[in-house]
Amino acid sequence: MAIKYLAGDRIIGTAAERAALETTQTTTPPNDSWKEIGRFEVTGSATNSFVVRGLDSIESGDMAAKDNLMILLHTEDSSNSGVRARIRFNTTTADSTGKYSDKGQDNGATPTNRTGEDFTYFGESDCRDQSLEIAYVRNSDDFPKIMNGESIRTDGAAITDQCSRYAYGAKWNSTDQVTKVHIQAHGTTSNTFGVGTECVVLGCNDDESDGGDVFWDELATTTPLTSSTSTITATFTGKKFMMGYVWTYSDGLARTTFRINGATSGYGDRYNTESTSADVAWNSSRNAIRFVGHNTASQGKFSRFFMCKFSGKTPLVIAFSMDDGGSGSGTEAKFYQNYGKSNSTTAISSLSMYNDEDGDFGAGSYFKIWGHD
């Protein structure tokens, strides 16, 4: 091994000499910003299927090919007879070679496998009022497309009508990049998406700039707590699509729950604790939507959630949450899958994180929410 000597045949250098030999990053890492590249809204009359082609035309053209896609779909059942969305890419006709495969879990039940399909499902059961579907697609050129997502579907508009969730992973065995998204109702032509159904496709290249019209606008960020309290509230103007992050730290017994417009009743939810069994039964008499079921003291808790609120409809919320299980590396972290709705159709003007246990949220707790119509 060759040794490089410094001035005076020294091996140990001065601080100035060490600084001169250090490498410094001179290029800025790429920024990642989701941009809207496609949108379709069902207007006029109900339909069995539609295609998201871009922003300029609903009849022709393609979306921009981006490395990563986020698909936001809000469906409305046109006749309360039941509708279930399924998706395929770049074509509106059945693929005779069956290029789709997926594995999905409905309400925490045993996962279902499908191979050689002409499409991928957004759920295992029908929606009878409205649904929210979120999907992520890795849209690399020259590779099969992999996709994962989650959804919440309602059995009716009343708070006593339960919600169901679906979580899945899927593959489109094609090297073509996705430039069109075809949404079709499962079943016969009598199963239709109602007026108001809307699909938005976001795109983001691996080196996407922050310039231009970024989709997710910050709606509110609460100031991190400096003293303990049981409720953290943000006031803002709600949007059709919203997403947020919540960080809370326990001061005594604490469990993170979620309230809309300050209402202290009128919520229903279900959740799964670490997917050890099927989801708990629907509870239509909650005083808040539960994010984290664990309520032991002295724990950090994190939740990420999506929510939709369309005119005349109740809000739908789906979340993935965890807590650190307690201090020290020997404690087991815990996670939860949560989903629910409110019985109010009033526009959203505030959200609150509420502790429904005897303690408080401690210093440093806060949440952030983004949204877009």
Instruction: Output the pLDDT for position 188.
Output: 63
Q: How confident is the model at residue 9 (pLDDT cuts 50, 70, 90)?
A: low
For residue 107, give the DSSP letter. T
Instruction: Output the pLDDT for position 23.
Output: 39
Rounded to whole angstroms, how far apart are CA atoms 27 and 156? 53
Residue 268 carries which side chain, given as an amino acid letter? G
Instruction: Output the pLDDT for position 335.
Output: 80
DSSP state letters, 233-300: EEE----SEEEEEEEEEEESS--EEEEETT-SS-EEEEEEETTSSSPPPPEEEESSEES-----SS-E
> Whole-prediction pTM value?
0.86
Core vs surface per residue 12-23: b (16+ CB within 10 A) or e: eeeeeeeeeeee
Among 125, 90, 81, 85, smallest CA distance to 106 is for 125
pLDDT, one tens digit per residue, over 330-345 is: 777 778 888 899 999 9
Domains of the chain: 35-204 (2.60.120), 217-372 (2.60.120)
CB 363 within 8 A of CB 224: yes
CB 320 within 8 A of CB 306: no
Rounded to whole angstroms, how far apart are CA atoms 229 and 226? 9
Say yes or no to pLDDT of 41 above 80: yes
Considering only residues 153 and 331, tell me which one the structure prediction assigns the higher pLDDT: 153
For residue 77, give the DSSP letter. B
Mean pLDDT of the 177-189 span: 85
Q: How confident is the model at residue 203 (pLDDT cuts 50, 70, 90)?
A: very high
Say yes or no to pLDDT of 250 above 80: yes
291 contact partners, CB below 8 Å, separation of at least 6: 246, 256, 257, 258, 301, 303, 305, 319, 321, 336, 338, 353
Q: How far is CA 172 from the centre of its chain?
A: 21
Residue 271 carries which side chain, given as an amino acid letter? Y
Residue 84 carries which side chain, given as an amino acid letter? R
CB 261 within 8 A of CB 349: yes
Sign for the CA dihedral angle at 48, 52, 55, 56 comes to negative
Q: How far is CA 309 from the centre of its chain?
A: 14
Say yes or no to pLDDT of 73 above 90: yes
Sign for the CA dihedral angle at 184, 131, 280, 370 comes to positive
Q: How confident is the model at residue 370 (pLDDT cuts 50, 70, 90)?
A: very high
Cβ atoms within 10 A of the Cβ of 146, count? 14
pLDDT averaged over every residue in the chain: 83
Say yes or no to pLDDT of 275 above 80: no
Rounded to whole angstroms, how far apart are CA atoms 46 and 197? 9
Residue reference for tokens 């005083």: 287
CB 82 within 8 A of CB 126: yes
DSSP state letters, 191-242: S-BPTT-EEEEEEE-TT--S-S-BS-EEEEEPPPPSS-BSEEEEE----SEE
Mean pLDDT of the 90-117 span: 83
Rounded to whole angstroms, how far apart are CA atoms 131 and 32? 28
